[in-house]
Amino acid sequence: MRRLVWVVLIATVGGLGFSQGVRSLGMAGLVLPGPGAAYLNPAYAAFPGGLYGADQGFQLPIGLLGLVLRPESNPLPALGGLSNLTDENSPFDLLSFYDQVTHLGEFLINPASSRAFINPNTGYPEIQIKVSASGIQITDYQGNPIQLDLGLGTPTGVASNKGLTPAPLFRIPVSLENNLFLDFGLFAGGFGLGLSPNDSLRQALQSGQLQPSTEYALNLTGTAQAGISVGFGYATRLPDVPIPDFGPAKLYVGTRGEAFYGLAYLEGSFSAGVQTDAQGQFDPNQPPVYRGNVFYTIPGNGNGFGARADIGVVMEAQGTTVGLGIRNALGFTRWSGTELHWDGTSSNPISAQGERSSFGFVPAFFLNAATRVPLEVGALMVGGDLGYESGLYGRVGGEFSLGPARFRAGLGFDNGFRFGLGAGFVGPGFTLDAALTTHRAPIVGNTVFGIALSLGLGF
């Protein structure tokens, strides 16, 4: 079990390093055309930089202030003993800590909180499960029904994503001669956790009635992966394409291959439940029923490898750009590790060597566009993107420039509704950007607001 915990920690802590630029966050996460989007569309590796600006500053880790200044998310008392956090009088909230520590580039104004489940009389979260011959009910300490379909992150695995690995925590691009380019990356993500009732339990919760000789269970699913990657690609500008009534259009194409070596992987589905007797009642002496399969890989106990192909095309004419990238046009992945199996007869799993492999066409599409709008005073740039990976997402946003000042706004949908507001200032030798951010709170699902800052220096 400790090995499984390490897999989750690798992916969760790894997710701390990846964040969008503050300029992008001010437009709800919008990805504009430019070399910075080459990971999503390899044709942008040949596209000129600066046409629509770029994130030039270093994002300040102001989320550390949220950890230290907010007692609910401050882990420092644990230095004097873990009991300082688990004591009933401690204000520490693990959910608030998780939300802030996974957004270190943002100071969260209202991080996720488990207070809704805390009984003030005990100081601990409480979930009550009431089972009787007539039905089953799951509530908080006040008797309010709890929605059991809880989710955290976006599950990604071999079966669904083939050779598509999570976005890299950091990416180091290297330009070569003859329109070739190379990049190195470290990825840790694909972290998804879900809790939901099985069909029988869901029906019982809706009707309040139990059926005889029926198994009622909670299903837990989870995924995570981490590794290193190397990409090699080619991007170039083709001859201009004449467009009637519009003029010549610049055309860019690119292709990229990526290979990865996997360090850690987790993919599992596990259920725990009880079964009613012939009269539709629960026997308190009956042991729980465990079913499911969990496959995991950690260093020293298996590994993974894979490769994929990406392609892209970009067209630009009179200040308007449209690009289409297709990642994982063809992908292969293979992971070796340990398989745990629960067959419903025992709480102890059957352990054996296992493997996960996949080959096929499971593309991730990314379409984006931007244009400059001429104004008498200042300059306006607007853009939008639309993509599909494990789900559909899209953003629209814009930036208005007036002298050294920048004003930004955007709306989008990416695992929930998002909006962004931002501002920037370009001074002699430095840039300063700020953004109001939003994201969906883990587990509890409310909208969390944050503030992000970046500072760029030029010499």
Per-residue tokens: 49: 């930089």
For the cut 60, the answer to whether the pLDDT of residue 274 exceeds it is yes
pLDDT interval class at 146 (50, 70, 90)? low
The average pLDDT across 156-175 equals 72
- Say what percent of the chain tops pLDDT 90: 37
What is the predicted pLDDT for the residue at 402?
A: 92
Write the DSSP symbol of residue 139.
Answer: E
List pLDDT tens digits, range 397-420: 999 999 999 999 999 988 778 889
The average pLDDT across 2-7 equals 47
- Say what percent of the chain tops pLDDT 70: 84
The average pLDDT across 128-147 equals 59
What is the predicted pLDDT for the residue at 18?
A: 40
pLDDT interval class at 7 (50, 70, 90)? very low
CA distance 253 to 315: 9
Euclidean distance between the first and final Cα of the chain, in Å? Answer: 51
What is the predicted pLDDT for the residue at 162?
A: 54
CA geometry: angle at 288 spanning 283 and 290, to 5°?
Answer: 150
For the cut 60, the answer to whether the pLDDT of residue 148 exceeds it is no
The average pLDDT across 352-360 equals 89
The average pLDDT across 237-250 equals 88
What is the predicted pLDDT for the residue at 286?
A: 83
The average pLDDT across 19-30 equals 86
Task: Identify the burial level of 4 via C-beta atoms within 10 angstroms of its C-beta, where 0-12 means exposed, 13-18 middle and 19 or more buried.
Answer: middle
Per-residue tokens: 170: 């950091």
What is the predicted pLDDT for the residue at 152?
A: 55
For the cut 70, the answer to whether the pLDDT of residue 343 exceeds it is yes
Cα–Cα distances (Å) from 141 to 54, 124, 125, 127, 147, in that order, read: 50, 10, 8, 6, 14
Task: Identify the burial level of 76 via C-beta atoms within 10 angstroms of its C-beta, where 0-12 means exposed, 13-18 middle and 19 or more buried.
Answer: exposed
CA distance 335 to 5: 18
For the cut 60, the answer to whether the pLDDT of residue 11 exceeds it is no
Residues 276, 296 contacting (CB under 8 angstroms)? no
**pTM for the whole structure:** 0.78
Write the DSSP symbol of residue 240.
Answer: E
CA distance 383 to 397: 6
The average pLDDT across 428-445 equals 84
Among the ranges given (41-45, 158-162, 248-252, 438-442), the one the predictor scored with the smallest mean pLDDT = 158-162
List pLDDT tens digits, range 251-263: 999 999 999 999 9
CA distance 270 to 289: 11
Residues 264, 299 contacting (CB under 8 angstroms)? yes
What is the predicted pLDDT for the residue at 151?
A: 55
Calculate the CA 459 to chain-centre distance.
35
What is the predicted pLDDT for the residue at 139?
A: 67
How much is the mean pLDDT over the chain? Answer: 83
